[in-house]
Amino acid sequence: MSGMGEDETGGGAEPQVLPDMRGKAAARKSKPRGAKVERGEPDDMRDPTGGGLGPDCPVTFLGVNGGTYYMLDSLYQLRDTNAKLDKGVLYDIFTPGWITEKFPMMRDGQPVRGKLNQDAAQKAVIAACQAKGRIKIDDSERQRGSHASRKGALILHCGDQLIIAGEMRDGKVRPLYPRAPGLYERLIFPLDDELVRPADDAATQGEAWDCLDHINRGGWNWKGPTHVRLDGDPTDPADSVDIYAWLVFGWAMSAKLCGALFRRPALLVTGPTQQGKSTLLARLKDLIGEGWFISPEDPSEAGITAEMGKARIAVLLDELEGKEDDPGYIKRMYNLMLRSFDGGGKLRSSADQKAVKTELYSSFQGSSVLPPKMRPQERNRMIIAEIGVRLDPSQPYICPNWFGEMGPKLHRRLAEQWPRYAATLKAYEGEMARRGSTGRERDCYATALACADLALFEKAPDAVSEAGKDADNPARVKEIVAAIVPLIGTMRTENIDHPERAMATLLSSHLPSSGGQVQQTVGQWIERGIIALGTDDETGWNLARTQLAAHGMRLCNLKPDHAASKAGVIELNDLGTGYLCIAGATHEGMIKIFKATEFNQGRWPDALSRLVHVVRNKAGHETGQMPAIKGKIPKIGGWQGACTLIPLAAFLDLVDLTEQIEIAIAAKDLGHAEAVRRIREERKRKGGE
């Protein structure tokens, strides 16, 4: 694979004659490898006086923190040292030839060639660092990977070279160009492990579509709910892209730029064993490009954070399954994805009791047979793409010969398209917002869609193109966002937030039985009590009421003047406006129900108090709300304390319960089967009217 040219002046100094690897590094910097990029230039933030040591000083002084002095050495490596600065350290940082010539030992008023005045050199270095003031390296150091500058430019840190794209100069976007590591816009980009650079020639639009087509039709049986057609022939498979394939391609493009993005969605590929998940992982590695990801075979949270350091590259994990001997493994791995989505940091203590901050600005990918149980905040940050059983298992996966070379070419294309990223992202976010998507849904999906757009199209979408009035810029945002709406709808049904989870935990909890009877859940006892009350079954009602009260629950209605009453409740007499009164943190029965759950230690009242029942008319339009009520102090059995009141309509099908009561009443005279038949016929008749 060809690499981009690496011309740069790196501060304008003449190449030094250096021993060992230093000579090779200097030669590599001065040797051009491509002619299609501008030459580098002196760092615009570098001190032209060399910190007072002269314009030819090969070291960039950064500042001091406590007794530690920071600088970039002659090879742009980040160095920290103490005030001792012995000869070996000075030679290593400056190169022996320069430092001894600048600070020679004097004898009889004459410099001694090749001998260093260590005292003078030490004082000069300390003064140069102190003149820069205090520095906090954690906030300004940027290691290999992709980054956004303080002014919005894209910086691809390729280890021994920076590639700058989208930089504004004199009100215009400057063409992509390389420069040496070092300082850029007051950020520190030290020499790092080399990554494969973007290619000299960007991928064409057709080549990007060929890559998407391979992900779409390369042998995987995608199970997406919809397809993206972009006004193509609906009968032609070539004009139809499974929404999962589109999102997987978009995720791969976002992974190439992950450190520069505001959000970094994770990707989880699920499906049966031996259906191509590992093969897909190999294709994703080709698309992202060598060096721009890590893919540990036996990953761990500590191992990933240690290997990443401050790098901003992707993390690809095959077979992300739970471990029998480590129950918390999956949770820790998904916590990494959660932190990385927003660019979170984690503090830990070093061996010398100093705070060390680890950061994650990576796009994570994992594959699993079944997706694990996830909290809503994890599910909202993740694209889950499902692969089904292959339609023809006898057909091998065939990778085109050109596919493995596309990573650097796509990197170049994305860098050249970077100036329109903000406008493109805004277009997708706006359309998703118009269709009712939440902010977190937009953060996740719009990022992947916008990155796919950079690769697949030439211009940012706008009102003219979306109206179909721009022949050179096809309409696509509405079509693509419409294709992900069913997927987002499915995700919402799978996302159960804290209030719903707390209520589900309560309703599914089994209460103790007596006399050898089968245990029933809280939900069953509630329905049993309501039906008994509606059919004037006093014995059944008293049994249900007693059982619920023993565990901290009561069926009730609000008093007309409940706002002025401490208790404010009466016995249940109207189902439509009824509530379930749930005891607070001092009730022993409720403590037992929530003991082994995430809502233990008195947390269930806060979760349950967020439940809201939306009242709708027959046409489905919202006509009002019945929120949960917190703070009432009614009696439940012999206990009295703070309670939370939940509208029955928030968790029960009141229409179905009403019908069950009608059937039970009619069954006393007609028998159960005849009562069911008549009630259902009456329901059909009313529906027909």
pLDDT tens, 111-138?
888 888 999 999 999 999 999 899 888 8
Asked whether residue 157 is domain-assigned, the answer is no
Asked whether residue 172 is domain-assigned, the answer is no
Grouping H, G, I as helix, E, B as strand and the rest as coil, residue 396 is: coil
What secondary structure letter does DSSP report for 233?
A: -
Residues 362 and 317 placed together within one structural domain of the fold: yes
Give the β-pairing of 520-521 and 629-632: unpaired
* pLDDT score, position 688: 54
Band of residue 234 on the pLDDT scale cut at 50, 70, 90: low
Is pLDDT of 154 > 60? yes
| Lookup: tokens for 328 | 């918390």
Q: Which residue in 548, 578, 224 sits closest to 383, CA to CA?
A: 224
**56-93 tens-digit pLDDT:** 899 999 999 988 999 999 899 999 999 888 999 999 99
Asked whether residue 282 is domain-assigned, the answer is yes
Asked whether residue 515 is domain-assigned, the answer is yes
CA dist., res. 229 & res. 213, Å (int) = 12
* pLDDT score, position 25: 37
- Which CATH number goes with the domain that contains 281? 3.40.50.300
Residues 469 and 322 placed together within one structural domain of the fold: yes
Q: Which of 124-138, 171-185, 220-234, 349-363 has the lowest mean pLDDT?
A: 349-363
Alpha carbons within 13 angstroms on the beta-carbon side of residue 457 total 22
Higher pLDDT, 342 or 125: 125
Mean pLDDT of 212-220: 92
The residues pairing with 556 across neighbouring beta strands, listed in sequence order, are 571, 579
pTM of the predicted protein model: 0.72
Is pLDDT of 40 > 70? no
Asked whether residue 195 is domain-assigned, the answer is no
What secondary structure letter does DSSP report for 254?
A: H
Alpha carbons within 13 angstroms on the beta-carbon side of residue 508 total 7
Residues 62 and 125 placed together within one structural domain of the fold: yes
Last residue of a domain, one of 431, 460, 494: 494
Asked whether residue 55 is domain-assigned, the answer is yes
Band of residue 50 on the pLDDT scale cut at 50, 70, 90: confident
Residues 421 and 367 placed together within one structural domain of the fold: yes
Q: Who's near 108: CB < 8 A, 6+ residues apart?
A: none
What secondary structure letter does DSSP report for 202?
A: P
Is pLDDT of 13 > 60? no
Q: Which residue in 233, 231, 248, 238 sits closest to 213, CA to CA?
A: 238
Band of residue 233 on the pLDDT scale cut at 50, 70, 90: low
Q: How many domains does the chain divide into? A: 4
Band of residue 34 on the pLDDT scale cut at 50, 70, 90: very low
Looking at every residue in the chain, the average pLDDT score rounds to 84
Residues 478 and 507 placed together within one structural domain of the fold: no
The residues pairing with 385 across neighbouring beta strands, listed in sequence order, are 269
- The answer to whether the CB of 146 falls within 8 A of the CB of 259 is yes
Show the DSSP H helices in 74-180 as ranges.
87-94, 96-102, 118-132, 137-140
Mean pLDDT of 254-267: 93
Q: Which of 12-21, 213-222, 521-530, 665-674 has the lowest mean pLDDT?
A: 12-21
**459-483 tens-digit pLDDT:** 999 999 999 899 899 999 999 999 9
* pLDDT score, position 597: 85
CA dist., res. 398 & res. 387, Å (int) = 17
Is pLDDT of 682 > 60? yes
Is pLDDT of 447 > 90? yes
* pLDDT score, position 32: 37
Report the b/e string of 485-520 with b at 16+ CB within 10 A: bebbeebeeebeebbbbbbebbbebebeeeeeeeeb
Residues 668 and 567 placed together within one structural domain of the fold: no
Residues 513 and 431 placed together within one structural domain of the fold: no
Residues 505 and 488 placed together within one structural domain of the fold: no
Is pLDDT of 515 > 70? no
* pLDDT score, position 352: 53
Asked whether residue 673 is domain-assigned, the answer is yes
CA dist., res. 294 & res. 365, Å (int) = 11
**561-617 tens-digit pLDDT:** 888 888 889 999 999 899 999 999 999 999 999 988 888 888 899 889 888 888 887
Residues 522 and 468 placed together within one structural domain of the fold: no
From residue 461, alpha-carbon distances to 240, 250, 261, 406, 482 in Å are 20, 16, 19, 25, 16
Residues 254 and 367 placed together within one structural domain of the fold: yes
Is pLDDT of 293 > 90? yes
Grouping H, G, I as helix, E, B as strand and the rest as coil, residue 446 is: helix
Give the β-pairing of 355-359 and 227-228: unpaired
* pLDDT score, position 501: 82
Q: Which residue in 481, 464, 484 sits closest to 472, CA to CA?
A: 464
Mean pLDDT of 474-500: 81
Residues 456 and 504 placed together within one structural domain of the fold: no
CA dist., res. 372 & res. 551, Å (int) = 32
Asked whether residue 93 is domain-assigned, the answer is yes
* pLDDT score, position 341: 86
Band of residue 425 on the pLDDT scale cut at 50, 70, 90: very high
Domain extent for 11: 1-141
What element of type H or E holds 169? strand 168-169
* pLDDT score, position 509: 92
Residues 221 and 244 placed together within one structural domain of the fold: yes
Q: Who's near 563: CB < 8 A, 6+ residues apart?
A: none
Band of residue 147 on the pLDDT scale cut at 50, 70, 90: very high
Give the count of beta carbons closer than 10 Å to the beta carbon of residue 323.
9
Length of the chain: 689
Q: Which residue in 368, 205, 342, 412 sits closest to 277, CA to CA?
A: 368
Last residue of a domain, one of 96, 121, 141: 141
Give the count of beta carbons closer than 10 Å to the beta carbon of residue 137.
17
